[in-house]
A = this chain, B = another copy of it.
Amino acid sequence: MNDYTKTIESELVSYLPMGDEYIKTLISSMNYSLTAGGKRVRPMLAIEFAKLCGGSEQAVMPFACAIEMIHTYSLIHDDLPCMDNDDLRRGKPTNHKVFGEAAALLGGSGLLTLAFKTVLSEKAVFLNGYEKCVKAGRLFAECAGVNGMLGGQIIDLESEEKEISVERLRVMDDKKTGALIKASCLAGCISAGADEEKMKAAESYAENIGIAFQIVDDILDVISDTATLGKTVGSDVQNNKSTYVSILGLDECRRLTNILTEAAINSLSVFKENTDALSEFAVYLRDRTK
C-alpha cells in the first residue's frame, strides 16, 4: 500500500480551527489526540478506493480526514473513566489524563463535529460537489451513529463480565469497528463517483477485512499476553472476556482469517484496474504483529 501518512497528517492539522485565547485548552486537547500517530488505516482505505475508482487523492482527502477525526473522537471517549478507563493509548497518556475529563469529553465531541464541518466544507464542495458531500456526510453519520460505532460500544459495555455468543460478538464488532472501515472504503467510491457494482465490491472487501482485523486483534492479544505477561491462552476465558479466540479457539481463528482475507481479495475482482495495493493491505492486516 502506498504511504500517504505524511499527506494525511498535514492535511488533518490544516482543518483544526485556530480558536481564540479563550478556548486554547479545547484546541490543545483535539490536537493532542489527532496528532498522536496511528497507522491512518481508514484514510488510506478511502484514498486507495478513490484512486481505484478513477477519483483523485486530493478530492477524497477531506472525506479521508473526516473519518480519521471520527475515529480519534471515538478513541478519546472510549478511554474515559466511565467507559474503558484507560490511562495509556499508543504508549502516551490518554487525553483525559493530560487535559482532564471535561476537556477530553469536549475535545472528542469537537472532533466529531469538526468531521462534519470538514465533509461539508467549501473545500470539500469545490472538489466533490454538493451531492457527493451530502452522501459522504450521511454515510459517516450512519456508520458513526447508534446503528454503527455507538451501538457497538454499548454492546461492548453491556457484555463485560459475561460470556457472550459468537453472534453477539460478530454484531458488536461489525458495528464497533466494521462500520467505520466500511465508511472509509465507500467514501473513496463516493468521491470518485463509482457505480453500484463497485460500491458493492468495496462494501464486501470492507466487511471481510473488518472481521479479519478484529479476529487478528484477539489472536495478538493472546499471543502477546503469553509472550510478554506469561499469561496462558485460557486467561481471557477466566476473566469472563469473550473473544473470538476464547469462543472458537486459536486454530479456528487462524483458519477464519485466511478465509476472510481471501474473500476480501476476491471481492476486488470486479475492478479492471490494478488492485495490488488493496490485496497487499488485506494480507498485511492478517499477518501484522500488532
Contact = CB atoms under 8 A, between A and B. Distances in A.
A200 interface: no
A242 B153 CA distance: 39
Contact of A150 (B20, B106, B130, B142): B106
B134 A130 contact: yes
A120 B22 CA distance: 32
A106 B26 contact: no
A interface, over-half SS: helix
Contact of A151 (B19, B77, B140, B145): B19
Contact of A168 (B22, B25, B103, B130): B22
Interface string A169-185: 00110000000000000
A281 to B, nearest CB: 28
A154 B106 contact: yes
A101 interface: yes
A168 B21 CA distance: 11
Interface string A216-248: 000000000000000000000000000000000
Contacts of A101: 82
A137 interface: yes
A137 B142 CA distance: 15
Contacts of A114: 141, 145-146
Residue of A30, A133, A146 most packed against chain B (CB within 10 A): A146
A105 interface: yes
A188 B64 CA distance: 31
Interface string A72-86: 000001001111000
A138 B120 contact: yes
A115 B154 CA distance: 20
Interface in A120-156: 120-121, 125, 130-131, 133-134, 137-138, 140-142, 144-147, 150-151, 153-155
A145 B23 CA distance: 11
Interface residues of A, number: 53
A150 B86 CA distance: 24
A210 interface: no
Given A141-B114, A154-B23, A146 B17 contact: yes
> Which 9 residue pairs spanning A and B have beta carbons closest together?
A117-B141, A82-B101, A130-B130, A23-B151, A120-B138, A113-B145, A116-B141, A26-B154, A110-B146
24 contacts: A17-B145, A20-B171, A22-B154, A22-B155, A22-B172, A23-B155, A25-B154, A26-B146, A26-B150, A77-B109, A83-B105, A103-B154, A106-B150, A106-B154, A109-B109, A109-B150, A110-B146, A113-B146, A113-B150, A114-B146, A120-B134, A125-B134, A134-B134, A137-B137
